[in-house]
């Protein structure tokens, strides 16, 4: 009975989603002219003011990163080994700072990609200068934050500029830390499955009113398949007596 209820619930959700998607697609097609005009104007605005937009966003991000780093460094100079609350607070600060720097680096690639669109027509060399400058900045800051983490946890090993950094770093973690990393990785895998599904649906809806070509679907499909195969292959490998060597 329980299995029947789960199956019925699944199909009901699928039917409702299909009806909702059809209504939404029909609504979008009726407002095709207005929506198409909006996206064309948005694209033109981003392309025309790309340098200004990325300078402002990356500049503000860099300022925030520097402030957070300097604050954490000053706080770490007051380190006392017997204060557990202090360790927890510093750990949260550093765990927030590293992803923030990574997001800033991703922004760099996105903005530079937008700049490359006009490469053959009107490419501005400042786009390349900003890109390389911000990549260098983020790499330097990642290295500095890792050094602060090593001060907090002297047993940690690895150089962020080393291609084997992830492997060396995870080896220096204790079992509790590894468990957190592995659980977070699985949660990320679950989330990305929903994200890819959502991106596919959004692409389908957009292509009703705008011809976005085949490449968004090919790219999303490739990334989705690559993630699924990478997870499955490694899961099979670890189930066959290699779990103790998991990295």
- Segment 65-103, tens digit of pLDDT: 999 999 888 887 776 666 666 777 777 888 889 899 999
- State the pLDDT at residue 140: 93
Are 92 and 85 in contact, with CB atoms under 8 Å apart?
no
Query: Looking at the predicted structure, is the pLDDT value of residue 29 above 80?
Result: no
Dist CA 40 CA 230 (whole Å): 37
Region for 174 from its dihedrals, namely left if φ exceeds 0, alpha if ψ lies in -120 to 50, beta otherwise:
beta
Map residue 8 onto helix, strand or coil: helix
By C-alpha distance, which of 73, 55, 52 is closest to 133?
55
- Segment 104-136, tens digit of pLDDT: 999 999 989 888 886 666 778 888 899 999 999
Of the given ranges (19-23, 186-190, 200-204), which has the lowest mean pLDDT?
A: 19-23
Which residues are within 8 A (CB) of 242 and not within 5 positions of it... i.e. 6 or more apart? none
Dist CA 141 CA 61 (whole Å): 12
Which residues are within 8 A (CB) of 135 and not within 5 positions of it... i.e. 6 or more apart? 105, 108
What CA–CA distances, in Å, run from 39 to 107, 119, 201?
20, 21, 18
Domain ranges in the chain are 45-161, 173-247
- State the pLDDT at residue 14: 66
Overall pTM surpassing 0.85 (yes/no): no
């Amino acid at each position: 009975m329980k299995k029947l209820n789960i199956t019925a619930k699944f199909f009901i959700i699928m039917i409702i989603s299909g009806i909702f998607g059809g209504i939404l697609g029909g609504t979008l097609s009726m407002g095709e002219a207005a929506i198409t005009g909006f996206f064309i104007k948005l694209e033109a605005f981003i392309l025309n003011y790309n340098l200004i937009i990325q300078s402002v966003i990356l500049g503000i991000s860099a300022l925030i990163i520097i402030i957070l780093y300097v604050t954490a460094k000053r706080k770490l100079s007051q380190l006392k080994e017997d204060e557990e609350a202090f360790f927890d607070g510093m750990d949260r600060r550093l765990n927030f700072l590293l992803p923030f720097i990574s997001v800033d680096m991703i922004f760099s690639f996105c903005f530079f990609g937008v700049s490359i669109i006009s490469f053959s027509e009107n490419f501005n060399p400042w786009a390349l200068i900003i890109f390389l400058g911000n990549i260098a900045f983020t790499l330097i800051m990642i290295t500095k934050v890792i050094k602060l983490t090593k001060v907090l946890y002297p047993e940690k090993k690895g150089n962020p500029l080393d291609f084997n950094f992830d492997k060396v770093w995870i080896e220096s973690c204790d079992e509790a830390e590894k468990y957190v990393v592995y659980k977070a990785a699985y949660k990320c895998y679950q989330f990305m499955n929903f994200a890819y599904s959502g991106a596919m649906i959004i692409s389908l809806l957009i292509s009703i009113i705008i011809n976005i070509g085949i490449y968004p679907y090919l790219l999303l499909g490739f990334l989705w398949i690559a993630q699924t195969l990478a997870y499955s292959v490694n899961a099979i490998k670890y189930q066959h007596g290699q779990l103790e060597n998991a990295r």
